[in-house]
Amino acid sequence: MAIDPEFQKKLQVFLALAIVVAGGRAAYIVYERGEALKDEAKPKRETVLKADYYVTPKKLHAYDLKSARQLTAQPVWVKVGYQLTYYPYDRERHKADFGHEAGTLLPLQKLAVQDVVMDVSPQAPGMKQVLASFALAGKTYGVPIGAEKGGDFKIYSDDIFFIEDPRDLYRHWPADVWKKIDAHEVQAGMSELQAGFAIGMGIPQGSGDYGWRTLRYPNGGKRLAITFQNDKAVEIKAGW
């Protein structure tokens, strides 16, 4: 049967349009897949909560000298290393030698607090320093953990110490990570928190969100710059 010329013309136009549409759709699919591959190649910011976020360390909420003395009930561990200066302390005279710095507490250093006392620092004669005293290598020292003025106390022990063993709090961390932390060393793949436990507090360099930035670590004089992506150390450089 002969095909009507008019119908044949319309059919050809329809087929041509169908080919154009199909070709355009195929090109769009290829484009979408290309963009998806590009996105996969980029570092992604995870939204899944890590086990670290569920850790809730206990706090004392100390508000005066008596409540702060709860620090003597168990060992404590230093939260922020290389930041807290401690001084020789005479237990008999109840006096700290603020004129002679004895050192700075190390990251996660374990201490047995013997007492919480008050003393006046020459640098701040108008207020009293609240000190946690502890023994180290056979000598007694005091580290400031707050202040008192006119009967008003400001105690910062919850920001200074863990009162639970961090190894129990973060028992889900791998053994090799804890080995580095104990040695005050860092390695690729460590999170910001793990690096802080190992070498103390870092100072942000430029802008960037937590886990997506570069931090400078004084590290007790052994300076390091660490770049994090997705809260993992991807570049570790000596010096600044």
pLDDT in tens, 68-120: 999 999 999 999 999 999 999 999 999 999 999 999 999 999 999 999 999 99
pLDDT tens-place string over residues 182-234: 999 999 999 999 999 999 999 999 889 999 999 999 999 999 999 999 999 99
Does a structural domain hold residue 41? no
CA distance 200 to 106: 8
Residue ending a domain, among 162, 187, 215, is: 162
DSSP 8-state secondary structure symbol assigned to residue 1: -
CB 109, CB 81: distance < 8 Å: yes
Where do we find the tokens 């206990």? Answer: 58
pLDDT reported for residue 123: 80
Section 132-144 average pLDDT: 97
Torsion sign, CA atoms 32, 38, 41, 43: negative
Please check whether residues 229 and 140 belong to one and the same domain: no
The pTM score is: 0.78
CA distance 143 to 89: 9
pLDDT tens-place string over residues 167-178: 999 999 999 999
Strands 214-217, 203-205: pairing kind: antiparallel
Please check whether residues 144 and 115 belong to one and the same domain: yes
Please check whether residues 112 and 71 belong to one and the same domain: yes
pLDDT tens-place string over residues 27-40: 444 455 555 555 55
Residue 26 pLDDT > 50: no
Half-sphere exposure of 64 (CA within 13 A, CB side): 4
Please check whether residues 140 and 198 belong to one and the same domain: no
Domain that holds residue 138: 57-162
The token duo for 190 is 């460590």
In degrees and rounded to multiples of 5, residue 63 shows phi and psi of: -130, -5
pLDDT reported for residue 57: 97
CB 189, CB 228: distance < 8 Å: no
